Amino acid sequence: MIMPLKFIDREFELDILTKEYSKKGFTFTIIYGRRRVGKTELVRHFINGKKAIYFQCDKRGVRANIESMRKVCSRFFDDVEPSLASLNEIFHYIIKRKEYEKIVFIIDEFPYLIQQDGALTSELQRIIDTFLIHEDMYLIILGSSIGMMKDELLSEKSPLYGRRTSQLEIRPFGFRNLIEWFPQINPKRLVKIYGAFGGMPFYLQFINQKENFFKNLERTVFNKSHVLYPEGEFVIRSELSQVSSYMKILQAIASGASKVVDIAVKSGIKASDLPHYLDRLRALDIIHRERPILGRSKKSKKSLYFLSDNFLQFWFRYVLPYGSMIEIGNLDPIFDDLKRSYDTFLGRVFEQISREYLMLANKMKIEPIKFTRLGSQWGKIPGMPKGRNEYEIDHIAIDMNEKSLIIAESKWQNNVNPVSMEKRLNDLVKVVPELSRWKTVHLIGFARSFRKTRKDLSIHTVDLKTIHSTFKSSLKSKKEI
């Protein structure tokens, strides 16, 4: 069952496109993002009611695509199909046939063309510089190959560098957007869905709200005939060669390895060889690197690596290792594993949700300080014996102007004792030099739920119900505006 694909939460992107369209003369936007994140749906929504030519490239080669492009253009102008053999001739034809009103020309999946002919970016640069720059046209180029879009269109080495007037990276939805997508699903179940399916619109459309969480998994990612079952490998193969090495690294990270030395052990790849792979995965936004926010150490041994997408994290943790069992339909071991470990897995997901809440609260001026930086902190406590000297703080928010900090902890647990959480964070403030030097320190605790206790605590508690209601009210306010 496929639910209707919803169009939500792209107000910022639509506003950028609208502003570019309203400018006089030539404008050029590059849109990129992972396949199935909703780029095409965005531009289709944008061009509604406008004079626009939309063309999606394929892998048949440049000549075949130019022939298809001229057919699309001639149909748009209700014209006899012209004899056009190049991108240059296509643009000349559009400019000659268009009327006074601004026209939008969209080329989707442009990387398919430059894979066949790398000189096309130089040709497009000459087209822009020689005559498009003087015309009233809005050119939009889209691409799902993030590596190629960055290298061939966005980098300083690209012939098109300096020609675009804007660029948009389309990213998956956050947890707040899932509330808008699934308004009837309760918060706890929604966190489970977010942990497994992430925020990709294409993935979310397969969720049946009438089925429980396990049934949705059984019908989709744990079903060998479903499109989501091979999706993790498909994402990697669409961007990278040497797939085997990258898959080992991603499986290692998904299983809990975050330090280079641990990733090396679990993947079987030498630690000295890992930077090449990790840098490439970071450039494609498949993984991200975190460093302690206080001190900003650039030492590689202080870096931690995590998958950037919840679906890929879930796929490499629960789908890839059980591929043989999924093939024969033996799902019992997978669900046994999920029942044992999924709450632990969701700990990292709940940290993401807590951080999303902090960002929104900062924007809405809910929290005690207006912070400008947000991250995590970890390290060693001076003077403590080895084995007891390491600490980790989930969230640190900094207000440099007021010399103030927010220190926050997230626990995906019920009935959390806020007194214990407050004591742990206060104890860290006393013994960690990076924390004790600040003028003011505010404490926040996040949990699925908290036990009732005395009201004179210095820690501000935020449970899942509060997060959900805050996100929901912000969506309501957005609609009223």
CATH code, 153: 3.40.50.300
Q: 214: buried, middle or exposed (CB in 10 Å: 19+, 13-18, 0-12)? A: middle
CATH number for 405: 3.40.1350
End-to-end CA, the chain: 34
Same domain, 337 and 356: no
Q: For residues 127 and 139, what is the distance between their CA atoms, to the nearest angstrom?
A: 12
- Full-model pTM: 0.89
Same domain, 358 and 464: yes
Burial code (b: 16+ CB inside 10 Å, e: under 16) for 259-288 equals: ebebbbebbebeeeebeebbebbeebbbbe
Contact (Cβ atoms closer than 8 angstroms) between residue 30 and residue 107 = no
Same domain, 366 and 275: no
Q: Is residue 3 part of a domain?
A: no
Q: Is residue 2 part of a domain?
A: no
Domain containing 61 equals: 11-169
Domain end, chosen from 134, 169, 204, is at 169
CATH number for 236: 1.10.10
Domain end, chosen from 316, 347, 378, is at 347
Q: Per residue of the chain (481 residues), what is the pLDDT tens digit?
A: 555 556 667 889 999 999 999 999 999 999 999 888 889 999 999 999 999 999 999 989 999 999 999 999 999 999 998 899 999 999 999 999 887 788 999 999 999 999 888 899 999 999 999 999 999 999 999 998 888 899 899 999 999 999 999 999 999 999 999 999 999 999 999 999 999 999 999 999 999 999 999 999 999 999 999 999 999 999 999 888 889 999 999 999 999 999 999 999 999 999 999 999 999 999 888 999 999 998 755 555 689 999 999 999 999 999 999 999 999 999 999 999 999 999 999 999 999 999 999 999 998 888 777 899 999 999 888 888 887 888 999 999 998 787 889 999 999 999 999 999 999 999 999 999 888 888 899 999 999 999 988 778 999 999 999 999 999 988 876 554 4
Same domain, 213 and 162: no
Q: For residues 117 and 127, what is the distance between their CA atoms, to the nearest angstrom?
A: 16
Q: Is residue 79 part of a domain?
A: yes
Cα torsion 40, 171, 279, 193: sign: negative
Same domain, 282 and 328: yes
Q: Is residue 6 part of a domain?
A: no
Smallest CA-to-CA distance from 195 within 184, 204, 208 is with: 204
Domain end, chosen from 326, 347, 368, is at 347
Cα–Cα distances in angstroms (integers) from residue 238 to residues 23, 233, 305, 307, in the given order: 36, 9, 22, 17
Same domain, 201 and 133: no
Q: Is residue 16 part of a domain?
A: yes
Q: For residues 11 and 13, what is the distance between their CA atoms, to the nearest angstrom?
A: 6
Same domain, 341 and 353: no
Same domain, 287 and 361: no
Same domain, 239 and 120: no
Same domain, 190 and 103: no
